[in-house]
Structure 1
Amino acid sequence: MAKNWEDSMKYLTLFNKLFFTATVCLSLITGMAAADDYPTKPVEMIIGFKPGGFSDAMARKLSEPLTEALGQTIVHTYKGGAGGSIAATAVAGQPADGYTLVVATSLTFAFNPLQGKVTYTKDDFDYLLTMARFETAFVSLASKPWTDFPSMIEYAKSTGKPLRYGTLGPADRTQMEAVAAATGVTFIPLPIKGGANMMQSILGDHVDFGISGGPHIQYVKSGEMIVLAASGSDPLNSTPDTPTMTSLGFPAVSYNSVIAAPKGLPDDVKAKLEAALIKSAIDPRFQDLVQQRFVGITPMGTEETSASIDTISDEMKAILAAKGN
């Protein structure tokens, strides 16, 4: 009887091992099949800005070829506010399965966490695509007594007058605080919501200069405004001869349009998403839009975008240090 009991236990142990092995194999096969079949349902694209803006326009235009590349509908959800942080916070907490994406700016990931007002870090995301670089520049009326950023600084120094500037958010304010620390010039920030309001503030001479992501181009062409400097380290597409803040020896702030997903995407899902997004970003339908607005770049995939976010984060840390934070 004891022998029968021992034999039964041996068979039971063997059965459990075989069952466990089969379960693991089945799970692996199922997981592989799921990844191969991805996506099997619509993909949600959460846009970190309000409907109707240029970021919305880019996301929608990109979604046309992306729908074809993935074979699934792209559903748009809007969570505007806080420079994209509301959307990024919502996406960071989602499953890393490739069905939730966020459209925001490089500063959403590289700068906002440095201010200590968000619950995520730049390392909480898988970066998939940089699809555009905004034509972000400092601009002023052409009738002002300066012709570029250095001559504006010299004017302020020689007259002792403070300069009023239109600011769109904490990043450009932080940048100008660092410039103030380096030059001794006093800058008075006037918060302004939106590019259209910024243009009206500059045209109405309510500010001496302002930060613009692109709406200024038409006024530069008409001769009403001049571009003082590119806010970042890369030359502008519309006025390539304009000096960059980096070339002038001042801190640079770059504004790129980025698509990311929650950290931890399966490698094959990430690769499929990256390939589909890059294919969509070079599609003529998308390129026509971004080239018309002078924000077109060679799209950057996962590796380049991740490196770019790290670089911008380091630059913003240096700016914060330069202004004494």
Structure 2
Amino acid sequence: MTSRKYLVAASALALSAVVAGPVVADEWPERPVTMVIGFAPGGSTDIQGRVLANVMEDYLGQPVNVVNEPGAGSAVAFTNLANAEPDGYRFLFGGTTALTFTPIITDVEYEIDDFEYLAALALGQNALVTSAEQPFETFDEIIEYGRENPMTYAQQTALDQAIIERVAEAEGLDLAIVPTGGGGGMAPLVLGQEVDFAYSGGTHAQYTPTGEMVIAAFLSAERSPFYPDVPTLMELGYDYSIEDWRAIIVPQGVPEDVKDRLMEAAEFASQDERFIETTEGNTFFPVVYYDQEQMEDNVRRVRAATEEVMAD
């Protein structure tokens, strides 16, 4: 090969390598992607997730199919995700309390180091709710009523159940726990007055504007900007709160270029009007964008703080 021919061939090879570099990342995904929701259809996570899937499809250029895997406050979905192939084709959209709290009090088959936390897209709005037809509205009124009458409570997660059981014990309430698979299962129980009050991770946003459902208190550390008159449980004298994010989570070991694509799609969604309107306008969750570094820190910080509280 002459020097000139060698230089031409080498230049062509170098150019093909440069071009091929980003194309490898851009080619992912080459087939449909699965988004797992750890709750039954109809709840706030499911509502947000389905819109998020549609927006991510536009960015990724492949269908994003939503699969519901309810059970044990999303612990079933996290267990399945921990055992999934780490190729990015299966990821979870959901709350972080199944990682920061559930493994502390429940025997689960996963740990926080089994996952990577790519992005948070919304701040959790955890609340205690009741029907507008009940003889009580505020949390103080619920406690007062419960001191004289047996009560029922619809739970969704191990964390909300643990908090309410501690409150009930402190207040001397006779409280029966009714498990549900998510907000879609909780709402008819509350509206039909089959339970006295319940935990809501955001489903209440569908029923408070109509006056059918009342928020008695928030379990978050601060009041909701959408319900500024409703106090937090901490304001009412109970030292409990839930710090929670709706996040995109993958099993440990997903390739960096694939994680980058998912994070780019998540950031794209956080600025999309469809996702913002559904998340803030319909489910009343503040939209945010926290990247992987922030979320890795957040999950471990809250987990450590929760372990300290539960040890007391």
Match of 1:129 in 2: 119
CA 1:220–1:270 in 2, change beyond 3 Å: closer, same or farther? closer
Secondary structure of the residue aligned to 1:299 is strand
Match of 1:120 in 2: 110
Alignment of 1:230-241 (within 5 A): 230-241=218-229
Match of 2:247 in 1: 258
Q: Tell me, yes or no, if the aligned pair for 2:73 and 2:98 is still in contact at 8 Å.
A: yes
The structure having more radius of gyration, on CA atoms, is: 1
Match of 2:262 in 1: 273
| 1:34 Cα offset (Å) | 7.3
Q: Tell me, yes or no, if the aligned pair for 2:119 and 2:249 is still in contact at 8 Å.
A: yes
- Out of 281, 285, 292, the position equivalent to 1:302 is 292
Alignment of 1:124-273 (within 5 A): 124-142=114-132, 146-154=136-144, 156=146, 159-217=147-205, 219-248=207-236, 249-273=238-262
Aligned residues: 293
Structure 2 CA distance, aligned partners of 1:177 and 1:232?
A: 17
Q: Name stretches of at least 5 consecutive residues in structure 1 with no aligned partner.
A: 1-27
Alignment of 1:278-289 (within 5 A): 278-289=267-278
Q: Deviations over 1:141-172 (max 9, x none)?
A: 4465655223443555xx55444322234322
CA 1:147–1:308 in 2, change beyond 3 Å: closer, same or farther? same
Structure 1 CA distance, aligned partners of 2:223 and 2:88?
A: 34
Q: Tell me, yes or no, if the aligned pair for 1:178 and 1:320 is still in contact at 8 Å.
A: no
Q: Tell me, yes or no, if the aligned pair for 2:41 and 2:184 is still in contact at 8 Å.
A: no
CA 1:60–1:200 in 2, change beyond 3 Å: closer, same or farther? closer
- For normalisation by structure 2, the TM-score amounts to 0.77
- For normalisation by structure 1, the TM-score amounts to 0.74
Match of 1:25 in 2: none
CA 1:93–1:54 in 2, change beyond 3 Å: closer, same or farther? same
Q: Which amino acid aligns with 1:190?
A: V
Q: Name stretches of at least 5 consecutive residues in structure 2 with no aligned partner.
A: 1-16
Q: Tell me, yes or no, if the aligned pair for 1:38 and 1:269 is still in contact at 8 Å.
A: no
Structure 2 CA distance, aligned partners of 1:100 and 1:217?
A: 29
Structure 1 CA distance, aligned partners of 2:142 and 2:92?
A: 38
| Aligned CA-pair RMSD | 3.4
| 1:54 Cα offset (Å) | 4.3
Q: Tell me, yes or no, if the aligned pair for 1:62 and 1:280 is still in contact at 8 Å.
A: yes
Match of 1:293 in 2: 283
